[in-house]
Amino acid sequence: MVTTVAARPLRRTATWIPRLGAVAAAILLWWVLTDVVAGPQSLLREFGPQHVPGAIAGLLDRGVLVPDIGVSMWRLTVGLLIAVTVGVPLGLLLGLHAATESAVAPIVQFLRMISPLSWAPIAVALFGIGHQPVIFLVAAASVWPIVLNTAAGVRSIDPGLLLVARSFGATRREQLTTVVLPAIRGPVQTGFRVGLGIAWVVLVPAEMLGVRSGLGYQILNARDQLAYDQVMAVIVVIGLIGFALDSLARAVPDRR
C-alpha cells in the first residue's frame, strides 16, 4: 500500500512531463512560424506568442476581458441549460418508445446534420440583436448530442431491471425515477460533455452577430482596431477556457 501511494506522484510526474514538453514544442513552433519564417514586413509577426502576455495585460487594464468572459460564460450556461431541459426528456421519449423513435428518426437526423450557425439569420430575424440569438444557437448546437446519448442510454438498459420493478408493482413514474434515470446518468454526462464542446465552438462566432459583448465580439473589436496581438490573445484565452471546461466536465465521476 505504501508503495502504491508513493508511486502516485511519480505517475503524475511521468504524465505531466510529456504534456508540458508538447506544449513547449507547440509554442516554439508557433514562434518559429510567426517570427522566423514570416518576412520582416509580414503581418503574421503581430500574432507571435511573445505578444500575447502583454496583450492580455492590456485587455485586463482596460477592464474588458473579465466582463467579456463573464458574458460569454453566462450565454453558454443558459444555452446548455435549455439544451439539457429539452434534450433529456426528448431522449427519454425516443428511448422508451420505439414507435416514436422510428417515426421521428429521419427528422432528428436531418436537423442534427444542419450546422448550428446556419440558423443565425433566422435567429437574428426572430430575436433581434442581443443575448437571445446567441443563446439559441448555443442550445441548438448542444441539444443533439444530449438527445442521442440519452436515447442510447435508455435503449441499453437491461430489460430485466424494468421487469423486476414491474413485478414489485412499480408505477411508470417509479420505474423512471428508480431504474431509468439512474441507469442513464453516464450516457447523459457523455452527451453533455460532447454538447459542451460543440457549444463553446459555436459560441464565439455567434457572438460576432452584432452583439457588443463577449469574447467573439472582442475578437472583432480588436481586429477593427488593428490590434492583432489582442486578437491572438483573445483566441488563446478562448482555448484555455475551453480546455478548462472540458477538463472540469471530464472530472465529474462517470457512473455507468
pLDDT digits (tens, 9 = 90+) for 68-127: 999 999 999 999 999 999 999 999 889 888 888 888 888 989 998 999 999 999 999 998
C-alpha cell at 137: 444557437
Q: What pLDDT is stored for residue 256 in this prediction?
A: 47
Taking the model in full, what pTM does it have?
Answer: 0.85
For residue 130, the model assigns a pLDDT of 87
pLDDT of residue 60: 93
HEC profile for 157-213? CCHHHHHHHHHCCCCHHHHHHHHHHHHCHHHHHHHHHHHHHHHHHHHHHHCCCCCCC
Query: Which pLDDT does position 156 carry in this prediction?
Result: 84
Q: In sequence order, what are the residues at sequence separation of 6 or more whose Cβ sits closer than 8 angstroms to the Cβ of residue 81?
A: none
The rounded distance, in Å, linking the Cα atoms of 41 and 33 is: 14
Give the pLDDT score at 70. Answer: 95
How many residues in the chain? 256
The interaxial angle of helices 65-96 and 215-224, nearest 10 deg, is: 140
Low-confidence ranges of the chain (pLDDT < 70): 1-14, 168, 170, 253-256
pLDDT of residue 8: 61
- How many alpha carbons lie under 13 Å from residue 43 in its C-beta half-sphere? 6
